[in-house]
A and B are shown apart, each in its own frame.
Chain A
Amino acid sequence: MHDWKAIVKAQLPSLTPEVIEELAAHLEDCESFLLAEGTLPAEAFERTRRELIGSPDLAKRIEQARGDQMNHRSKVLWLPGLASFAASAVSLAILQRIALHTHAFLTAASNPRTDHWFAASNFLPYFAWLLCQPLCGALGAGLSKRAGGGTLEFVGSGIFPSLIMFAMMVLLFPFAIFVEKNPYILSHLGDAAIGLGAWVGLPGAFLLLGTLPFWRSSGAARKPLVQ
């Protein structure tokens, strides 16, 4: 007898464990019935498997029928994305707090030997935050993958913090330039571009790094189970 639970889970990963259990039990009964009828094992397996793979939108229809669950996009994109964003924002807040204490300590210790450390301490929280980003990206991508997200969804969830920053900048810069006619922004467009790179581009690349392990496991999980 095949491990139908593993097959259903691999085929329809977004379903709840209880539904997976129930569908697996159905397929187990179906295969047993065919075998008892005298169907050859390979044919019994193939006919049973067809029940599962015959309807590509089965998971969606079951979720809709149950109605008590959030929709698929929320599970595979918005929630994992928000988790990634929250982790990124919290890590930045913590690191800035630590940096404030360090900064105060270095200011108090007016030893010239510490001057270069003093200058570097301004950037330390930013670089430490960048190093945290792969973990935030992995969190988003992992949650999305676990909920059955495809490549676009788990990558989107992983780099979600950068997408939010990008959206904010895309909205704020034109507002500052065209509505507020902010003279600082207008005379420092180069700085704005650096800001875009520092708060969107670079963190995005680090977040993307965190999604890499999920790229590798992306198509491999289903293959052996449905052959």
Chain B
Amino acid sequence: MLTKIPPKIARGSAELAILSLLAQQPLYGFEIGKQIEERTGGALRFELASLYPMLYDLEKRGLINGKWQENSTGRDRRYYHLTSAGKKALEPLKREWQAFFHALDQLAGLNHA
């Protein structure tokens, strides 16, 4: 079982987590939160209070775009799509995180801990 990541660290990674998910398919807020939790085995968890300010911030910056659409149960949900600016921002963001983990690994030997 994975250790739950503290909120301070989780918040920093939220942008990468959300953009990576939306690069695969458009999702609405609840789905984004659930998928992040499931795919990280519960290590990363974003509740309503942390998820939506992040989504709105990403939308304001033009990286994602929300549109109301019907979901599979016929209810209107605001689906978030990755914009072309978001696609462009994702690759450098991944590289930044890779470099960050690499640096931490070198410093603290995380892979061998």
Distance, CA A64 to CA B57, complexed state (A): 8
Q: B52's contact among A28, A29, A62, by CB below 8 Å, is which? A: A62
Apart from A23-B52, A51-B47, A61-B49: 12 A-B pairs, beta carbons within 8 A: A21-B78, A22-B78, A25-B29, A25-B75, A25-B76, A26-B30, A26-B48, A51-B49, A54-B47, A65-B57, A65-B60, A67-B60
Distance, CA A52 to CA B48, complexed state (A): 7
Interface residues of B (CB under 8 A from A): 28-30, 33-34, 47-50, 52-57, 59-60, 66, 75-78
Q: Is the interface of A mostly helix, strand, loop or mixed?
A: helix
Contact with B along A139-179 (1 / 0, CB 8 A): 00000000000000000000000000000000000000000
Interface residues of A (CB under 8 A from B): 19, 21-23, 25-30, 33, 51-52, 54-55, 58, 61-62, 64-68
Residue numbers in A under 8 Å from B78 (CB-CB): 21-22, 25
Given the known interface contacts A22-B29, A22-B78, A27-B48, the answer about A64 and B34 at a Cβ–Cβ threshold of 8 Å is no
Q: Is the interface of B mostly helix, strand, loop or mixed?
A: helix
Inter-chain contact total with CB atoms closer than 8 Å: 60
Residue ID in chain A nearest B78 by CB atoms: A22
Nearest CB of A to B70, in Å: 12
Distance, CA A19 to CA B59, complexed state (A): 13
Whether A58 contacts B30 by the Cβ 8 Å rule is no
Nearest CB of A to B34, in Å: 7
Residue numbers in B under 8 Å from A64 (CB-CB): 53
